[in-house]
Structure 1
Amino acid sequence: MNNFNLYFSLVYENEEFIVINKKENINFHSEDGEFGVVVAAEKALNIKLYSVHRLDKMTSGLLLLAKSSHIAAHLSALFKAHQVQKYYIAITDKKPKKKQGLIQGGMQKSRRSMWKLTKTKENLAITQFFSFTLGAGKRLFIIKPKTGKTHQIRVALKSIGSAICGDPLYGEKTKQYDRGYLHAYQLEFTLLDKKYEFQVLPCSGELFKEGACVELLTQHKSMASLCWPKC
């Protein structure tokens, strides 16, 4: 496939796995005759790949894909044991109920393809976050999901009154943005006794590229060094 760069860019590759930067508005799985990002990567690199986590269609950023079922099992076990640290960035245009902290609750299916947060512990989702002002009514969120539920971050920010800009499901329909402003920014894990850390900036989105956002990300270069709320 010649146009794989429309789907992703390659961040890293070794004998065990690849890391790609998924573009926004690209499906994870193939749908309606359109390649998903995993199939696009397989065709572009001419190898069989195994998924161990996923990103929503609107979400861009770091995606880890194994090159064998053996490594996929290793990585899946790391994700299950919460030994893969994932950090996301998002931009909202609503001031949150709190500037930092912990959002937790049960994830329950709602209308259409939406989810909602409940007060129960069934299908529990835990999300840690910090938020910073960008000016002009915008805020940058740095997010560390403890669990990996469908739409978890999008629902969590909606629950504190700060739906993500451009989110087609949970955002305000009257406001137009050039993309959904959620990006998988950093990954950290140890595989076969070797530590890996990857970080990639969004390659699209006017708000992500504004000076205030870039400056904040520069100030907080290592997401792990932030004083994350205890779960």
Structure 2
Amino acid sequence: MDIPIVLKHQDFVLVDKPYGLSFHRENDQPGLAQFVNKKIGAVWPVHRLDKMTSGLVLFATSAEAAARFQILFKEHKIAKFYLALAYGKPKKKQGEVKGDMCKTRSGSWKLTFSQNNPARTRFYSKALGDGLRAYLLRPYSGRTHQLRVAMKSLGVPILGDERYNGADAERGYLDAFGLRFDWQGERIEYCRFPLQGQQFLDAQEQLSDWLEPWQQPFPDA
């Protein structure tokens, strides 16, 4: 599998993960990390996406750079922006989803009302027509399935997300859409539309004002 490299820096590479590809090896099938290692040599993963999510993933090109990235992620100094599609009317069209997450017997996660160590997500949305709505999401924490659970809690599970009862589709319509961070005094900003999924492709023109998601009034923390 040819993994697109969308940005190459001496300390890191930014790649575009396809939908349906696991991050690590699964059942003897190579994952994203193995494909990237084979393509460009040794790299250090610093964050990951789950199988149903496509989009931008960072790999450090040295152990030292990986350690610096871990500090940036821990201090929430890397802004990540996601694009999702869902059918239905959400409980609110913009704002924040915040709460603790706990695992259910089925292996899924759910949002709770407690706030001991909450997952936090800010979002904006816009109607695309025929009951379909686009969501620009920024997570401020890094919990497993955080965005999928946040959307479920809004009453609009992500299109194609079978685990959380999203409407049927040929893919899960969640994409790591943009990244913004400072690296050694350099501002790194990158955003691009997903290339997989007809519903994403059809919505590009309507969502063109989201191509610089950091321009939206998201709080810094």
C-alpha separation in 2, matches of 1:223 and 1:106: 26
**Partner of residue 56, structure 2:** 62
SS of the residue 1:87 aligns to: strand
**Partner of residue 17, structure 1:** 12
The C-alpha deviation readout for 1:30-52, integer Å capped at 9, x for no partner, is 1110111011100122x111111
**Partner of residue 194, structure 1:** 186
How many angstroms does 1:183 deviate by?
Answer: 0.3
SS of the residue 2:100 aligns to: strand
The C-alpha deviation readout for 1:58-80, integer Å capped at 9, x for no partner, is 00000000011100010111011
How many angstroms does 1:215 deviate by?
Answer: 2.1
| Among 194, 214, 218, the residue aligned to 1:224 | 214
**Partner of residue 82, structure 1:** 76
**Partner of residue 85, structure 2:** 91
**Partner of residue 147, structure 1:** 141
Q: Compute the TM-score of the two structures, normalised by the length of structure 2.
A: 0.96
**Partner of residue 40, structure 1:** 35
Cα RMSD (Å) of the superposition?
1.3
SS of the residue 2:134 aligns to: strand
The C-alpha deviation readout for 1:72-129, integer Å capped at 9, x for no partner, is 0101110110100100000001210000000000011112331110111244200000
C-alpha separation in 2, matches of 1:87 and 1:144: 5
- Residue 134 (1) aligns with residue 128 (2): yes
Counterpart of 1:227 in structure 2: which amino acid?
P
The 8 Å contact of residues 21 and 200 in structure 1, kept in 2 or not, is answered as: no
Counterpart of 1:91 in structure 2: which amino acid?
L
How many angstroms does 1:230 deviate by?
Answer: 8.0
How many angstroms does 1:219 deviate by?
Answer: 2.0
C-alpha separation in 2, matches of 1:148 and 1:62: 15
Structure 2's unaligned 5+ residue stretches are none
